[in-house]
Structure 1
């Protein structure tokens, strides 16, 4: 699927570990939900406004990918590489974003839960104390 144009692509409930979607274009139309995409190569892929909810994207390569306004609800993104990826306006509530580094990942207007905020800030080497200390 490297460099492919995948308009209205629908993939759900599949085991596609290590799939290669390098620079693939799914923009605005793909529904890729509840799949095992562990170790997938999505570098430079355009998944803007796509539904990626519930996927296992652990250890995936997401560098330079465009996930603007995408739905990534409940995704496992643990260990994923997100260098220079864009998640502006994306919905990441309930997703494992502990490996994201805000210094190299764009997340303007992204939606996250309060519980996810601590890990993101600690990745920026901030020391966070409970209120009152």
Structure 2
């Protein structure tokens, strides 16, 4: 799809959201051909800051697209291809992300509160500073660490076996190695991190 066509769709969607007429953005498959679905091709599209709240984007190809700070709350992205997409700061509150391919996407600072993440593929995605409250389909445990820094927490995603804190993302062994290296001169702070880690592991085991 050409950028000019996409801009017209976004403009009409904005009018629809403001009750000024317009048309709800529907960027799903475009037609049936030889019984095979031809899905909307939005790969590498520039959607930075776009307001796509409540839009239909299921099965769309958004691989490599720039969705930095876009509003995709309540949007249907089920089955969409978002590999390597720029989703920094994107609003995905209450979005449908079932079976969505988010491999190697940058989701740092994204809002995933109340999103449906059942069967979502998040392998290799950047998940630093994501908001995870009440997500569906993943077991996410976030615990605040008592330090002088604000919003310093450890997040564990059980199904992915990923640990996240500040700009770190990796396995449990990698997290422990990072804690040892970063706080090697502060035994008191190291112990606080380990207490939080042990608490999370105990919660997961129950």
TM-score normalised according to structure 2 size: 0.52
Counterpart Cα distance in 2 of 1:127 and 1:95: 17
From the superposition, tell whether residues 40 and 81 of structure 1 become closer, same or farther in structure 2 (CA, over 3 Å).
Answer: same
Cα separation, 2, equivalents of 1:68 and 1:41: 18
Deviating 4+ runs (over 6 angstroms):
none
Between structure 1 and structure 2, the one with the greater Rg is 2
**Residue equivalent to 1:84:** 99
Superposition map of 1:1-133 within 5 A: 6-7=1-2, 11=7, 14=11, 15=14, 17=17, 18-23=24-29, 24-27=40-43, 29-113=44-128, 115-116=129-130, 119=133, 124-125=138-139, 131=196, 133=199
Structure number having the greater helix percentage: 2
Q: For structure 2, which runs of at least 5 residues remain unmatched after alignment?
A: 18-23, 30-39, 145-195, 200-206
State the 1:99 CA deviation.
Answer: 3.2
TM-score by length of 1: 0.77
Contact kept? 2:93, 2:111, Cα under 8 Å: yes
| Distance across 2 between alignment mates of 1:120 and 1:107 | 17
- The structure with the largest strand share of the pair is 2
Q: Residue 3 of structure 1 aligns with which residue?
A: none
Q: Within 2, Cα distance between the matches of 1:35 and 1:126?
A: 28
Q: Deviation at 1:64?
A: 0.3
Distance 1:127 1:71 in 2: 25
Question: Number of residues paired by the alignment?
Answer: 125
Cα root mean square deviation, aligned: 2.8
Change (3 A) 1:126 1:20: closer
Greater RCO, 1 or 2 (C-alpha within 8 Å, sep 6+): 1
Deviation at 1:35?
A: 1.6
Contact 2:78 2:100 in 1 (8 A): yes
Counterparts of 1:94 and 1:129, CA distance in 2: 17
